[in-house]
């Protein structure tokens, strides 16, 4: 089978199907509005089914593509990373779908770059998207009819009544799926940027889905604008590459990078600029420090959105891009990536401990886990980071969907009003427990069994261990101990969440009384995702097939070596394969394990056994608590240092127009009017000396006769004006003709 | 560093493993001393700390665990013995003090024992 | 299956488990009970490490003696308001965090000293029983029979026994016990 | 009438609206509806005529991929001044002509709510369209100037009569600024005219620039300088001869001419600091006129720079490239910041226009084809194509934005951003369209605004890194003010301003104006080649010729320097020799 034709076809189709569903749903949903109606209950339901079917079909196509890939590229047969020193690219297929523009030697196109990573991501994204679509049938069903939004009061003080927007939700979900797949399949960085922005706008729509709520629209704006700040950096990265290499195609960039600057490559400073620039985009999209503030606010969107967009897929796009562009990053940039990742994971984990909104806890945990991925990539753990991306996608979407199920049942996000729910909703409770165990990386290191997160988090810690071993400087050691501490905090806040929600006694009897288990369409995706959250990290029985072996096949050329920094010559990024050595694997595994268990124990002591009383702890650490409660005061900081100055600056610019330029223009006109009046009066005096009266009479008479022309009709005036102009030209041309001739 | 913890059941253990147990006991003792308000609890913490230290002493002196160049001989065990004895003595004194304090203050809450005179 | 390792895990696990239980228990009687178990498990470790005499002493002095003393003290003082005294959770958390860090540092160090790593060729084969009671007794009397074949002349020169420390300890113990008895004597409250 | 001859076809295209205006003059006064329909019909026909070139009307079909001027015709108009009635199309002008007829048609559709002096309005509107089409078609500088002025007056009246409360002020301001620009242009025009001389050009070249055989013979036979207004000839002269290199106050004529032209055109663009007429004009102008103003009139400045200023005065353009680009970037930043501070919806859109047109100026100016890059024109090509694309894209999106503002204004009669909100709930369809169109303005990929901005910004790095960084940063501000506006107007719970009851759903007429704009924005955003295929060859040719000029110029300077050096050396040698001779030997 010819992969060069089949893979783009299959994945292209899988990519475009959601777009088709978007077009169908959006046009179908808008048509009744031309007539002044709203989409009917039935047609909205159909919209949901269409979108889900498209998504499911995409998943099947992706699976087919995966099967085709695996038959042609058996795992283990080609291990570009297996032999240090061999720098050939992993097996991939690239080409263009169509060209956007070309100027001389410069080409921009919509194309594809397909390797194992692409196919794996396709399967992951479409699978989770399908689950979320199906889940939304149940979760969004209230939107099918008219909705009473109790969180919004209209002018007369009553709760807002509005028509349901069920189909809109699926419309945006479809567009999002399309855009996300576009990022994944993109064959060049320009296309990545295009879809990067598109996922951003989908996220904007989905966060602001409840457009009537000010909090939702503010959050949507914040998300998009903060992302734009990152995209600004990304644009700089693109410009650097584009201006130096003359191409943005992955399959052309990577070989060119290896060349020296004189032969068409990039000089080292430019490489650093390009790397950091690209990473800025990833910082924004993946909500890394210092651009993380949008993600917690993004939880204003409906929960399925949080599960799909703001945990599993879109926010992981930054990590994906770092993985995709890995050869561009030089060791110094990788160090930056690692440091940002480490700061992010620690910061977010600490904030998550105090949050009381169930979705915010999960949001901060997402940020923290993304920090792990970035850290791993930055320390040279290419497979580890992306492996964690995949496993995280499954258990985090599971966790979010579970939280959605809880919110659906109790109609609040506030953990303080939950408790004891495991009796009312056992399916949700235990699938969520699976998710929690997966995210803390539960497993037994000695026996090598555990939940999916166990394998991926261990891989990250192993790489960190290996890095710390290769760089003896104590500062670099922080990059090992921060994630270890993070693992403990993860267990702490995740189980705090679970205990507060499901264990103990109900804290709000009223809400507890009304709680109920969710419908089948919501439970089924939970169970499926829970299964995957357990097993996605495992090796497929009787084969070599596992996520890691798939990713290993896509390992970019050049990452299989230990590299040294050029500016920081002491910096060593170790080869990832070195981290599989038992003398690293074993202690790293146990360290993670004990950290996680420590966190779990602490959470259990505090929230289940209640030996420690959370309230007392809050009292004794009041300053720390308020620091964490206010999310490190990032929002306030940005408000005062960035937002407000920008607005002041904008007012200043606007007032330049009003107070400087306009008065200048007015002044000039006044001066010229004065001059005109002066000349006028001078002329007047002379005229008085002459035959003023005759002239006046003459003028009077002429005026009388010309008065006929003054009909007051403006169009006539204009015609006169035009005619006069034309006449003048004609006269002038005649006159000059004679003048020259004569 | 070979096979520190993997296959714990099929490989011999080393001094380090004993020391980890010792460290656990030691830490528990410290935490006990730091968190218990009951004077007897504090006493138990001290016992734990001493025990943790003892484990280390024994482990370092053990010819089963050390390689051929082990030279401590009985020193480790003798030290451990002294510690045990001193711990007993210290326990007796502490108990006596506690009883005395209980007699005078009517409580064993060390938070109340903040004055030098009883 | 390597049996010493198995028993190490067993005794070590118990020792740690009950030590943690001591920390977590809030009832003083239970604490005492857990402490006994933990100390007993520790004595198991001593036996395992070849220190049979010390292990026995551990069992006798601690578990048999100290603990009786302790339980005696507990029973003397344990009246209802003092059975469990709660510490504020803030202090608790601080202690836990600091303790956790300490534990981490200690274990981390333990595994990074090469001499402390497991060895397949121990100085004495674990299957050979070590009979340490007699040598210890001799050492306390000033004779180091265990060091007779010490190859290092510097160490052999100074390989005197522990007679002097033994005497000091004995006197010390005596003084302490007298002092304890004096302190703990029944006394009518001044009020 | 032979519709297959370029002369007839292009003249018809230009003057059809004017002719329709004459007919309007004779239409009965009380038939407002009919007058509007008639006018709309005329604009539709003009649009179809302009499309005819694209779809291949025999004789006038536009050859896609052919970079040069097509269907050039030239008729003597004022022979004593060598003024010709000369027109032609190429890839630069054709998209603008089609855009003009399209926006005019849609703007006429948007004129239905006008009830005051309908006949006059329609006449002026049609005259305006003639002027605009003429500007883009004219290949004679003088003709260009005439059309430029023809356009000015109807605009003045359209703002001054049908505008808002401060209409007179706005109209006068518009008039004065534009007139000032025109005067500068006139001066430059005369400077160039009187320094030009066609005689050095050989016959083949003269024929190529559209000069008839008899004229060529006359030119070659003449012994006095043969001045010309022919734009193509002027370009040739500017790039290959030294005719505009006379010195004036330390600078060449060419330099001064470029500066004058640049200021003249940049007023129209408009660039900071000559932009203050635009917000006032927009705020006061009625909706359809705002659409035309933003959609087409602003493009004339860019077109003039691309067609006249750059090709005729390459040396000055190169000299001032940094100035031009800086001005563009300053406009981008300034416009974006100012837009952020506005509370008047229309003023905000006006400032966003200033910001967006800054990209055009920047894209034109990124002259990266220098010795340092081995005269590689590719990046500049990208910038200039991006600039032209941005003109078209902005024509579509800004017309749409103004229409959407007008749509709301027609209903609630205010534009205060702080008094809007919740429109989405009342008018979902129109809000959807508006959000789409505003996103096109925001530069969202998949919509037309993105392509131009992206090309320009990517091309800038090669020219100047600081400017590139600043221009890239503008994306943040753009997102800021557009999203904030959308939030304040369309999102939210409830409309709290006056006339809440008037918020009726979008009508079919309004839908048929907004929907095509959004559809075009989508088409050009997804498949920019639809536009680029037409315009890229012509733009790239312009760039290539300028790059070649630069290379020639540098070589010439080098040889001059070399020869200068050798003569200096020779002189020094002789001096030395003489000194030796005169010094008495000891």
State whether A159 and A297 are in the same domain: yes
* Phi and psi, residue A532, nearest 5°: -70, -35
Q: What is the pLDDT of residue A549?
A: 85
Q: What is the pLDDT of residue D212?
A: 83
From first to last of the 118 residues of chain B, give the pLDDT tens digit.
334 445 667 777 888 888 889 999 988 888 888 777 777 888 888 888 899 999 999 888 888 877 666 667 778 888 888 888 888 888 888 888 887 777 777 776 766 665 555 4
- Of chain C, the percentage scoring pLDDT greater than 70 comes to 83
Rg of the Cα atoms in chain A: 33
Binary contact (A587, B5; C-beta < 8 A): yes
Q: What is the pLDDT of residue A737?
A: 47
Q: What is the pLDDT of residue A260?
A: 67
Residue A196: C-alpha distances to residues A189, A287, D456, D492 (Å)? 10, 14, 19, 27
Q: How far apart are CA B85 and CA B70, in angstroms?
A: 26
Number of neighbours of residue D246 by Cβ within 10 angstroms: 12
Q: What is the pLDDT of residue D585?
A: 44
State whether A295 and A378 are in the same domain: no
Interface confidence, given as ipTM, is: 0.83
Q: Which of residues A690, A710, A737 is at a domain's end?
A: A690
DSSP letter for each residue of A545-614: --HHHHHHHHPPTTTTS-EE-SSSTT-EE--GGGGGSHHHHHHHHHHHHHHHHHHHHHHIIIIIS-SS-H
Evaluate whether residue A723 is within a structural domain. no
Can you say whether residue B111 is alpha, beta or left, with left for phi > 0 and alpha for psi between -120 and 50 degrees?
alpha
State whether A492 and A601 are in the same domain: yes
**Which residue out of C60, C87, C99, C128 would a mutagenesis test of the B interface target, given it has the greatest number of B Cβ atoms within 10 Å?**
C99
Q: Which of D438, D432, D419, D424 is nearest to D490 (CA)?
A: D424
Instruction: Quick: pLDDT tens for D360-383.
Output: 999 998 888 887 777 888 889 999
Q: How far apart are CA A278 and CA A287, in angstroms?
A: 14
Q: What is the pLDDT of residue B22?
A: 92
Q: How far apart are CA A525 and CA A398, in angstroms?
A: 8
State whether C50 and C135 are in the same domain: no
pLDDT band at residue D469, thresholds of 50, 70 and 90?
very high
Q: How far apart are CA C132 and CA C128, in angstroms?
A: 12
State whether C78 and C98 are in the same domain: yes
Q: How far apart are CA D314 and CA D81, in angstroms?
A: 25
Q: Which of residues C100, C127, C154 is at a domain's end?
A: C127
Which of the 8 DSSP states describes residue D242?
Answer: S
Q: What is the pLDDT of residue A692?
A: 59
State whether C111 and C24 are in the same domain: yes
Q: Which of C23, A505, A204 is nearest to D487 (CA)?
A: A204
Evaluate whether residue A740 is within a structural domain. no
Give the residue on B whose Cα is nearest the Cα of C4: B12
State whether A393 and A454 are in the same domain: yes
State whether A677 and A620 are in the same domain: no
Q: Quick one: average pLDDT of A579-596?
A: 85
Binary contact (A612, C93; C-beta < 8 A): yes
Half-sphere exposure of A455 (CA within 13 A, CB side): 24
Q: How far apart are CA A379 and CA A579, in angstroms?
A: 11
* Cβ-contact D488, D416 below 8 angstroms: no
Task: Confirm or reject contact between B2 and chain A (CB < 8 A).
Answer: yes
DSSP reduced 3-state for D72: strand
Q: What is the pLDDT of residue D133?
A: 93
Q: Where exactly are the structural domains of chain B?
A: 15-105
State whether C163 and C109 are in the same domain: no
State whether A171 and A282 are in the same domain: yes
Q: How far apart are CA C16 and CA A480, in angstroms?
A: 26
* Cβ-contact D338, D372 below 8 angstroms: no
Binary contact (C179, B24; C-beta < 8 A): no
* Cβ-contact D404, D434 below 8 angstroms: yes
Q: Which of A307, A295, A322 is nearest to A234 (CA)?
A: A322
Give the residue on D whose Cα is nearest the Cα of A649: D337
Evaluate whether residue A554 is within a structural domain. no
Give the residue on B whose Cα is nearest the Cα of A591: B5
Cβ-based burial of B28 (10 A; exposed 0-12, middle 13-18, buried ≥19)? buried
DSSP letter for each residue of D551-571: HHHHHHHHHHHHHHHHHHHHH
Number of neighbours of residue D416 by Cβ within 10 angstroms: 13
Task: Supply the mean pLDDT for chain A.
Answer: 84
What is the H or E stretch that residue A147 is in?
strand A147-153
Evaluate whether residue A709 is within a structural domain. no
State whether A325 and A385 are in the same domain: no
A413 contacts: CB under 8 Å, gap ≥ 6: A299, A357, A358, A359, A360, A407
Q: Which of D149, D147, D167 is nearest to D157 (CA)?
A: D167
Q: How far apart are CA A392 and CA A370, in angstroms?
A: 9
pLDDT band at residue A684, thresholds of 50, 70 and 90?
low
**B31 closest CB neighbour out of C82, C96, C136:** C96
Q: How far apart are CA A671 and CA A675, in angstroms?
A: 6
A360 pLDDT higher than 70: yes
* Cβ-contact D527, D450 below 8 angstroms: no
DSSP letter for each residue of A388-430: HHHHHHHHHHHHHHHHHHHHHHHS--BGGG---GGGT-HHHHH
Q: Quick one: average pLDDT of D288-303?
A: 92
Can you say whether residue D427 is alpha, beta or left, with left for phi > 0 and alpha for psi between -120 and 50 degrees?
beta
Q: Which of residues A672, A690, A708 is at a domain's end?
A: A690
State whether A447 and A302 are in the same domain: no
Q: Quick one: average pLDDT of A336-353?
A: 92
* Cβ-contact D503, D373 below 8 angstroms: no
**Which residue out of D39, D342, D476 would a mutagenesis test of the A interface target, given it has the greatest number of A Cβ atoms within 10 Å?**
D476
State whether C113 and C149 are in the same domain: no
For C167, the domain range is 131-191
Q: Which of D557, D356, D372, D385 is nearest to D464 (CA)?
A: D372
Q: How far apart are CA D121 and CA D115, in angstroms?
A: 9
Give the residue on A whose Cα is nearest the Cα of D426: A162
DSSP reduced 3-state for D534: helix
Q: What is the pLDDT of residue A707?
A: 60
Q: Quick one: average pLDDT of D295-314?
A: 91
As beta bridge partners, residue D528 has none
Residue C14: C-alpha distances to residues A537, A551, C38, C96, C104 (Å)? 33, 42, 7, 20, 19
State whether A277 and A367 are in the same domain: no
What is the H or E stretch that residue D74 is in?
strand D70-78
pLDDT band at residue A183, thresholds of 50, 70 and 90?
very high
| Range in A10-24, A172-186, A507-521 with the lowest mean pLDDT | A507-521
**C96 closest CB neighbour out of A602, A614, A615:** A602
State whether C71 and C151 are in the same domain: no
For A82, the domain range is 1-329
DSSP reduced 3-state for A339: helix
Q: How far apart are CA A718 and CA D131, in angstroms?
A: 14
| Pairwise pLDDT comparison (A411 vs C88), residue with the higher score | A411
D259 contacts: CB under 8 Å, gap ≥ 6: D316, D320
What is the H or E stretch that residue A149 is in?
strand A147-153
Instruction: Quick: pLDDT tens for D99-121.
Output: 999 999 999 999 998 888 888 89
Q: What is the pLDDT of residue C84?
A: 55
Cis omega (within 30 of 0) for bond into C24: no
Q: How far apart are CA A436 and CA A603, in angstroms?
A: 12
Q: Which of residues A647, A671, A690 is at a domain's end?
A: A690
CATH number at C92 reads 1.20.120.1200
**A598 closest CB neighbour out of C26, C88, C100:** C100
Q: Quick one: average pLDDT of A593-604?
A: 89
Q: What is the pLDDT of residue C186?
A: 61
DSSP letter for each residue of A156-210: TSSEEEE---HHHHHHHHHHHHHHHHHHHHBSBHHHHHHHHHHHHHHHHHHHTTS
Q: Which of D321, D367, D386 is nearest to D543 (CA)?
A: D367
Q: What residue spans of D163-230 are helical by DSSP H? A: 167-195, 203-208, 213-221
Q: How far apart are CA A185 and CA A182, in angstroms?
A: 5
Q: Which of B63, B84, B51 is nearest to C132 (CA)?
A: B63
What is the separation, in whole angstroms, between the first and last Cα of chain C?
65
Q: Quick one: average pLDDT of C82-108?
A: 73
As beta bridge partners, residue B93 has none
List the CATH code of the domain at B15-105.
Answer: 1.10.287.3510
C183 pLDDT higher than 90: no
Instruction: Quick: pLDDT tens for A367-405.
Output: 999 999 999 999 888 999 999 999 999 999 999 999 999
Instruction: Quick: pLDDT tens for C12-44.
Output: 999 999 998 988 887 777 888 898 889 999 999
Residue D108: C-alpha distances to residues D18, D43, D121, D128 (Å)? 15, 8, 10, 12
State whether A301 and A380 are in the same domain: no
**Which residue out of B1, B2, B6, B10 would a mutagenesis test of the A interface target, given it has the greatest number of A Cβ atoms within 10 Å?**
B6
As beta bridge partners, residue D486 has none
Instruction: Quick: pLDDT tens for D144-194.
Output: 999 998 888 889 889 988 888 888 888 888 888 888 889 899 999 988 888
Q: What is the pLDDT of residue A83?
A: 43
D359 contacts: CB under 8 Å, gap ≥ 6: D328, D332, D386, D387, D390, D452, D453, D456, D457, D471
Task: Confirm or reject contact between A712 and chain B (CB < 8 A).
Answer: no
Structurally, how many domains does chain C consist of? 2
D135 pLDDT higher than 90: yes
State whether A665 and A585 are in the same domain: no
Residues of chain C positioned with their CB less than 8 A from the CB of A617: 89-90, 92-93
Count contacts between B and C (CB, < 8 Å).
312
Q: Which of B56, B43, B57, B55 is nearest to B87 (CA)?
A: B43
State whether C85 and C148 are in the same domain: no
Binary contact (A611, C91; C-beta < 8 A): no
Task: Supply the mean pLDDT for chain D.
Answer: 87
Instruction: Quick: pLDDT tens for D54-92.
Output: 888 888 888 888 888 888 888 888 888 888 899 999 889
Instruction: Quick: pLDDT tens for C138-180.
Output: 888 877 777 777 677 776 666 667 888 888 888 988 888 888 8
State whether C105 and C119 are in the same domain: yes
């Amino acid at each position: 089978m010819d992969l060069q034709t089949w893979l783009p076809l299959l994945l292209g189709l899988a990519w475009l199907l959601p777009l088709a569903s978007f077009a169908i749903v959006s046009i179908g949903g808008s048509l009744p509005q031309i007539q002044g109606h709203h989409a009917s209950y039935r047609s909205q339901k159909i919209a949901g089914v269409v979108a889900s079917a498209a998504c499911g079909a995409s998943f099947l196509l992706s699976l087919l593509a995966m099967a085709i890939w695996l038959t042609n590229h058996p795992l283990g047969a080609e291990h570009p990373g297996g032999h240090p020193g061999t720098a050939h690219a992993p097996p991939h297929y690239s080409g263009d779908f169509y060209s956007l523009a070309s100027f001389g030697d410069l080409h921009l196109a919509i194309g594809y770059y397909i390797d194992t990573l692409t196919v794996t991501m396709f399967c992951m994204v479409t699978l989770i998207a399908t689950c979320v679509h199906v889940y939304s049938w149940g979760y969004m069903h209230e939107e099918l009819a008219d909705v009473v939004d109790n969180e919004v009061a209209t002018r007369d003080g009553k709760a807002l009544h509005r028509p349901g927007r069920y189909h809109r939700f699926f419309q945006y979900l479809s567009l999002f799926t399309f855009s996300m797949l576009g990022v994944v399949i993109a064959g060049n960085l320009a296309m990545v940027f295009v879809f990067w922005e598109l996922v951003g706008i989908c996220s904007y729509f989905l966060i602001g889905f409840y457009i009537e709520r000010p909090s939702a629209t503010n959050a949507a704006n914040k998300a998009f604008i903060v992302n734009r700040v990152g995209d600004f950096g990304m644009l700089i990265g693109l410009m650097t590459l584009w201006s130096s290499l003359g191409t943005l195609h992955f399959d052309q960039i990577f070989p060119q990078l290896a060349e020296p600057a004189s032969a068409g490559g990039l000089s080292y400073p430019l490489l650093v600029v390009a790397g950091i620039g690209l990473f800025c985009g990833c910082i924004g999209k993946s909500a890394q420090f210092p651009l993380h503030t949008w993600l917690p606010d993004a939880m204003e969107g409906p929960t399925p959105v949080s599960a799909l967009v703001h945990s599993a897929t879109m926010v992981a796009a930054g990590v994906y891009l770092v993985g995709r562009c890995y050869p561009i990053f030089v060791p110094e940039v990788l160090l930056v990536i690692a440091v940002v990742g480490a700061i992010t994971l620690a910061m977010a984990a600490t904030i998550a401990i105090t949050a009381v909104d169930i979705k915010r806890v999960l949001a901060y945990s997402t940020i923290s886990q993304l920090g792990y991925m970035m850290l791993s990539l930055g320390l040279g753990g290419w497979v580890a980071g992306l492996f964690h991306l995949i496993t995280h996608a499954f258990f985090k979407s599971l966790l979010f969907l579970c939280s959605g199920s809880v919110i659906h049942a109790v109609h609040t996000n506030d953990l303080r009003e939950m408790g004891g729910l495991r009796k009312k909703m056992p399916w949700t409770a235990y699938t969520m427990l699976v998710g929690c165990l997966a995210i803390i990386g539960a497993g037994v290191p000695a026996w090598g069994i555990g939940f999916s997160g166990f394998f991926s988090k261990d891989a990250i810690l192993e790489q960190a261990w290996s890095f710390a071993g290769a760089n003896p400087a104590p500062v670099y050691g922080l990059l090992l101990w921060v994630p270890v501490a993070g693992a403990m905090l993860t267990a702490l806040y995740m189980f705090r969440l679970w205990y507060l929600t499901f264990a103990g006694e109900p804290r709000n009897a009223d809400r507890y009384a009304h709680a109920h288990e969710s419908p089948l369409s919501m439970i089924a995706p939970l169970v499926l995702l829970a299964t995957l959250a357990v097993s996605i990290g495992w090796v497929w029985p009787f084969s070599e097939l596992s996520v890691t072996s798939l990713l290993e096949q896509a390992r970019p050329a050049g990452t299989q070596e230990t590299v040294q920094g050029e500016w920081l010559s002491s910096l060593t990024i170790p080869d990832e394969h070195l981290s599989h050595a038992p003398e690293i694997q074993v202690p790293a595994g146990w360290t993670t394990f004990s950290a996680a268990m420590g966190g779990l124990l602490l959470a259990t002591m505090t929230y289940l056994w209640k030996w420690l009383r959370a309230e007392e702890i809050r009292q004794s650490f009041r300053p720390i608590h308020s620091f964490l409660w206010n999310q490190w005061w990032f929002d306030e900081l940005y408000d005062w240092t960035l937002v407000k100055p920008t607005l002041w600056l904008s007012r200043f610019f606007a007032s330049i127009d009003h107070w400087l330029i306009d008065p200048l223009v007015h002044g000039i006109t006044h001066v010229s009017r004065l001059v005109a009046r002066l000349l006028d009066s001078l002329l007047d005096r002379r005229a008085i000396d002459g035959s003023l009266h005759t002239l006046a009479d003459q003028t009077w008479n002429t005026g009388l006769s010309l008065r006929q022309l003054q009909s007051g009709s403006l169009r006539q005036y204009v015609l006169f004006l035009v005619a006069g102009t034309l006449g003048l030209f004609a006269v002038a041309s005649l006159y000059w003709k004679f003048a020259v001739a004569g | 560093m070979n096979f520190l913890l993997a296959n714990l059941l099929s490989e011999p253990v080393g001094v380090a493993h004993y020391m980890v147990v010792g460290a656990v006991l030691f830490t528990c003792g410290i935490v006990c001393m730091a968190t218990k308000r009951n004077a007897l609890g504090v006493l138990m913490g001290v016992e734990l700390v001493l025990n943790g230290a003892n484990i280390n002493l024994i482990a370092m002196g053990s010819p089963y665990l050390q390689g051929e160049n082990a030279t401590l001989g009985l020193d480790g065990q003798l030290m451990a013995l002294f510690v045990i004895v001193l711990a007993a003595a210290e326990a007796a004194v502490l108990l006596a003090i506690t009883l005395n304090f209980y007699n005078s203050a009517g409580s064993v809450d060390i938070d109340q024992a903040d004055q030098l005179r009883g | 299956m390597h049996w010493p390792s198995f028993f190490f895990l067993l005794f070590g696990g118990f020792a740690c488990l009950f030590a943690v239980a001591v920390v977590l228990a809030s009832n003083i009687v239970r604490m005492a009970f857990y402490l006994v178990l933990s100390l007993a498990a520790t004595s198991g470790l001593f036996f395992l490490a070849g220190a049979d005499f010390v292990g026995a002493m551990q069992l006798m002095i601690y578990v048999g003696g100290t603990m009786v003393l302790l339980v005696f003290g507990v029973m003397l003082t344990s009246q209802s308001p003092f059975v469990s005294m709660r510490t504020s959770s803030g202090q608790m958390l601080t202690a836990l965090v600091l303790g956790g860090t300490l534990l981490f540092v200690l274990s981390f160090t333990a595994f990074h000293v090469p001499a402390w790593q497991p060895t397949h060729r121990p100085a004495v084969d674990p299957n050979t029983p070590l009979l340490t009671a007699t040598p210890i007794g001799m050492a306390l009397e000033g004779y180091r029979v265990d060091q007779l074949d010490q190859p290092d002349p510097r160490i052999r020169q100074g390989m005197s026994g522990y007679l002097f420390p033994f005497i000091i300890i004995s006197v010390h113990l005596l003084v302490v016990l007298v002092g304890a008895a004096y302190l703990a004597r029944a006394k009518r409250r001044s009020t | 009438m032979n519709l297959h001859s370029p002369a007839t076809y292009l003249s018809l295209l230009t003057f059809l609206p004017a002719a329709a205006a004459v007919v309007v003059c004779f239409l009965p006064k009380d038939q407002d509806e009919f007058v509007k329909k008639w006018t709309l019909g005329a604009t539709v026909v003009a649009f179809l005529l302009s499309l005819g070139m694209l779809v291949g009307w025999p004789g006038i079909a536009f050859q896609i991929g052919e970079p040069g001027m097509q269907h050039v015709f030239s008729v003597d108009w004022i022979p004593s001044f060598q003024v010709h009635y000369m027109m032609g199309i190429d890839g630069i002008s054709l998209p603008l002509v089609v855009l003009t007829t399209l926006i005019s048609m849609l703007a006429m559709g948007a004129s239905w709510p006008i009830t005051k002096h309908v006949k006059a309005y329609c006449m002026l509107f049609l005259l305006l369209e003639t002027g605009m089409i003429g500007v883009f078609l004219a290949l004679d500088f003088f003709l260009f100037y005439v059309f430029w002025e023809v356009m000015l007056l109807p605009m003045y009246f359209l703002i001054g009569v049908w505008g808002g409360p401060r209409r007179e002020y706005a109209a006068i301001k518009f008039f004065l600024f534009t007139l000032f620009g025109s005067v500068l242009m006139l001066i430059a025009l005369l400077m160039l005219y009187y320094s030009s001389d066609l005689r050095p050009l050989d016959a083949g070249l003269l024929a190529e620039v559209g000069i008839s055989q008899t004229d060529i013979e006359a030119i070659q036979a003449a012994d006095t300088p043969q001045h010309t207004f022919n734009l193509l000839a002027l370009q040739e002269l500017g790039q290959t001869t030294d005719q505009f290199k006379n010195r004036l106050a330390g600078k060449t004529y060419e330099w001064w001419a470029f500066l004058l032209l640049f200021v003249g055109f940049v007023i129209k663009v408009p660039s900071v600091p000559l932009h203050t007429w635009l917000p006032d004009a927009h705020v006061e102008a009625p909706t359809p006129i705002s659409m035309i103003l933003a959609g087409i009139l602003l493009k004339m400045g860019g077109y003039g720079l691309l067609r006249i200023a750059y090709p005729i005065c390459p040396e000055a353009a190169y000299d001032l490239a940094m100035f031009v680009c800086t001005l563009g970037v300053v406009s981008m930043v300034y416009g974006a910041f100012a837009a952020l501070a506005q509370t008047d919806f229309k003023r905000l859109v006006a400032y966003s226009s200033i910001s967006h047109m800054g990209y055009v100026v920047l894209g034109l100016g990124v002259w990266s084809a220098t010795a340092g890059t081995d005269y590689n024109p590719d990046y500049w090509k990208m910038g200039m194509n991006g600039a032209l694309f941005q003109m078209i894209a902005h024509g579509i999106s800004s017309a749409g934005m103004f229409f959407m503002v007008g749509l709301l204004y027609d209903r609630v009669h205010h534009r205060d951003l702080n008094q809007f909100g919740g429109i989405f709930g009342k008018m979902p369809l129109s809000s959807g369209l508006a959000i789409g169109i505003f996103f096109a303005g925001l530069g969202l990929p998949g919509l037309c605004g993105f392509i131009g901005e992206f090309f320009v910004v990517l091309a800038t790095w090669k020219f100047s890194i600081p400017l590139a960084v600043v221009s890239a940063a503008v994306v943040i501000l753009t997102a800021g003010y557009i999203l904030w506006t959308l939030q304040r107007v369309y999102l939210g719970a409830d409309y709290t301003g006056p006339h809440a009851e008037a918020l009726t759903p979008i009508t079919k007429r309004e839908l048929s104006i907004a929907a095509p704009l959004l559809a075009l924005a989508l088409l050009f955003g997804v498949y920019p080649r639809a536009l680029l295929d037409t315009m890229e060859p012509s733009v790239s040719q312009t760039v290539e010729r300028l790059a070649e000029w630069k290379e020639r110029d540098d070589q010439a300077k080098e040889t001059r320097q070399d020869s200068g050096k050798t003569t200096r050396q020779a002189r020094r040698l002789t001096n030395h020799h003489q000194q030796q001779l005169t010094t008495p030997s000891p």
